[in-house]
Copies of this chain bind each other. A is one copy, B any other.
Amino acid sequence: MSIAIIGSGALGLYYGAMLQRAGEEVHFLLRRDLDAIREDGLSVISISGDFHLDNVKGYSTSNAMPRVDTVIIGLKTFNNYDMDTLIRPLLDDDTAILTLQNGLGNEEQLASLFGAQRILGGVAFLCSNRGKPGTVHHLGQGKIRLGEFAGGLSARAQALAEMFRRACVPCEAVADLKKARWEKLVWNIPFNGLCALSQCTTDQLLAHPPSRELVQTLMAEVVQGANAQGLSSDIVSTDFAAHLIDLTEGMGDYRPSMMIDRQQQRALELNSIYAIPLQHAKQQGLAMPQTTMLYSLLDLGEQAATTD
């Protein structure tokens, strides 16, 4: 299958490399890593074993890239304004677009530009970051849950999941993408925001009883927001939150991406992770006061902290 990776950060580089290693034809739109990858290829330093790809197809603009079967989007969501320019040159009549971006609203934006029938979304559970140019580090996990924006379990989604699994990426096709997205938010909303705001790691948060309680309060609020969205089945609040906290305990002194972004004075993905979920909850008559407060505090910090 021919694939274009748009947004070659740690996520795009890692999944693209895994797919190319498994024999897929992968084209990367590159910025920071362009020269390094054209000269020396792409290195993956992974807890599952390192590998190197000698010949990587890297491009500086989408116009130079071929049309592909599938476009995979790994852009930071505050770059979504550029989606039309970046994606349109890659589309054949039946090209599928899979966004692995964070939070809510990405599928809707893609659908408004390119038609809803093309769009799939996926939730990635991946710990990775970029090393020196031409190198990506895979620190843990990597599972993807993907599904159709229009809902339902399609043959196309199952084929994509099968492709990822052949590439040693755990992947599951789901019928209810919206539920998968909200389940991820139950983790992202408390931990991304609280870690970014406090510059404490996940284990420091959980070791401080009032913060641990605050994580639980926020999780309960997100679950309530999720269950108001007409999901195929409700998220069971207490079980699911306890499960996520157990998982997080196992991650040690983890630094969520938003914490690193704030530390490095980069913009935060506040729109997709906070503003749009809050809008969706509000449309169902739910206020989510603690999430609103966290969003306000993070947004206030953006006035001061952001340089780009």
**Interface residues, chain A, CB within 8 Å of chain B?**
194, 197-200, 204-205, 208, 210-211, 213-214, 217, 289-290, 292-297, 299-301, 303-304
Known: A289-B289, A289-B290, A290-B289. A210 touches B295 (CB 8 A): yes
Q: Which residues of B contact A300 (CB under 8 A)?
A: 198, 200, 204-205, 208, 210-211
Q: Which residues of B contact A205 (CB under 8 A)?
A: 300
Shortest CB distance A34–B (Å): 38
What are 28 sample pairs from A and B whose C-beta atoms fall under 8 A apart?
A194-B297, A197-B197, A198-B297, A198-B301, A198-B304, A199-B304, A200-B304, A204-B300, A204-B303, A205-B300, A208-B299, A208-B300, A208-B303, A210-B295, A210-B296, A210-B299, A210-B300, A211-B296, A211-B300, A214-B293, A214-B296, A214-B297, A217-B293, A289-B289, A290-B290, A290-B293, A293-B293, A297-B297
**Other CB < 8 Å A-B pairs besides A214-B296, A290-B290, A293-B294, 4 of them?**
A208-B300, A210-B300, A289-B289, A293-B293
Q: Which residues of B contact A200 (CB under 8 A)?
A: 300, 303-304
Residue picked from A200, A210, A289, A299, most chain B C-beta under 10 Å:
A210
Q: Which 9 A-B pairs have the closest CB atoms?
A: A210-B296, A214-B296, A211-B300, A198-B300, A208-B300, A211-B296, A290-B293, A210-B299, A293-B293
Docked CA distance A253–B204 (Å): 33
Q: Which residues of B contact A299 (CB under 8 A)?
A: 208, 210-211
Docked CA distance A293–B288 (Å): 13
Shortest CB distance A228–B (Å): 19
Nearest CB in chain B to that of A290: its residue: B293
Docked CA distance A284–B55 (Å): 69
Shortest CB distance A202–B (Å): 12
